[in-house]
Amino acid sequence: MPKHAVKKRTVKKHTVQRSLLLSLGAIVVAGLLMFNIGKVSQGNNSHSSAPRSAKQIKKDKLAKKVAKIHLTKHEKKVARNYKLNKLETRTASKTHITAIGDSVMIDVKPDVKQVFRHSAVSGSVGRQFYSLPGIVRHLKATGHLSKYIVVNLGINGPPTQHDINSVLKTVGKDRQIFWINTRVPRHWQNTTNRMISKNAKKHSNVHLVNWYKASKGHKGWYASDRVHLDLTGEKYYTRTLAKKVSDVLN
């Protein structure tokens, strides 16, 4: 066979081998690219299907609950007058409460009855916390103590832990206490508020209604004695309570 023919076959063989190698390399590169794209896609999918947080789940449930609420004519008026949303308004409207307090409770009674339609409200001038254990025992014994109890006692003096323990023992763990703290120009204000905060943190069925915080910078909500409330203050006091009740129950 002539030398030029052998050379030509050798060159052709090398060309074919080189083409095969290039094709194989292209296949490998394509495979690697597809593998990486698949990993990225899988990562994105796993991220999108990651479990929702408890906070997000609660938010979604509340949104569905709110969507089903159709306020009555009375509830719409309450929502407008007390600046409450649909859920807060409906929760207050349906919740049975027993409210016990001092003269401030007397002031806000009409508002509380307006927002909490199923409420029994007892206020008394000069009432202090030491009288609460006896009141709670009597209401429970006569079957008039609701599952949800509102307390506003503090403008006339601070509570003692002994009296608080007595109330908690009578109330039991199945009832919820919404305890409103105080803003009053008296030396026992901070002591009272610390006691309320301490017990709210310690007991799961005691909830702090932070009127002290809500009323900060609103001297116009108070009467001239800076203890009792004017009409605007009474509305915001009731609003603060309603929002807390809704937050806890929902």
pLDDT of residue 40: 46
For the chain, the domain total comes to 1
38 belongs to a structural domain: no
Residues shown for the chain: 250
Is it the case that residue 1 has pLDDT exceeding 50? yes
H or E element that contains 98:
strand 96-101
User: In DSSP terms, which residues pair with 118 in a beta bridge?
Assistant: 96
Q: Which amino acid does the sequence have at 147?
A: K
18 belongs to a structural domain: no
* CB-CB neighbours of 64 under 10 Å: 8
23 belongs to a structural domain: no
**pLDDT tier at 38 (50, 70, 90 boundaries)?**
low
134-166 per-position pLDDT tens digit:
999 999 999 999 999 999 999 999 999 999 999
User: In DSSP terms, which residues pair with 96 in a beta bridge?
Assistant: 118
Q: What contacts 77, CB < 8 A, 6 or more positions away? A: none
**pLDDT tier at 29 (50, 70, 90 boundaries)?**
very low
Instruction: Give the 3-state DSSP-derived string for 53-72, with helices as H, strands as E and coil as C.
Output: CHHHHHHHHHHHHHHCCCCC
**pLDDT tier at 9 (50, 70, 90 boundaries)?**
low
59-107 per-position pLDDT tens digit:
788 888 888 899 999 999 999 999 999 999 999 999 999 999 999 999 9
177 belongs to a structural domain: yes
**pLDDT tier at 111 (50, 70, 90 boundaries)?**
very high
pLDDT of residue 64: 84
154 belongs to a structural domain: yes
Closest CA to 161 of 112, 121, 202: 202
pTM of the entire structure? 0.78
* CB-CB neighbours of 39 under 10 Å: 10
Segments in the chain forming alpha helices (H): 3-48, 54-67, 73-82, 86-94, 103-115, 132-141, 161-171, 189-202, 211-214, 231-249
Q: Domain with 119 in it: what CATH number?
A: 3.40.50.1110
For residues 26-38, give the mean pLDDT. 52
For residues 191-215, give the mean pLDDT. 98
**pLDDT tier at 31 (50, 70, 90 boundaries)?**
low
Q: Which domain holds residue 119?
A: 68-249
8 belongs to a structural domain: no
75 belongs to a structural domain: yes
201 belongs to a structural domain: yes
For tokens 């609420």, the residue is 69
3-state secondary structure of 176: strand
Is it the case that residue 183 has pLDDT exceeding 60? yes
Query: How far does Cα 79 stand from its chain's mean position?
Result: 19
H or E element that contains 151:
strand 148-152
Alpha-carbon torsion, ordered 8, 13, 16, 19, to 10 deg: -100
Tokens matching residue 23: 């094709």
> What's the mean per-residue pLDDT of the chain?
87
Q: Which residues are catalytic?
A: 103, 225, 228
pLDDT of residue 50: 64
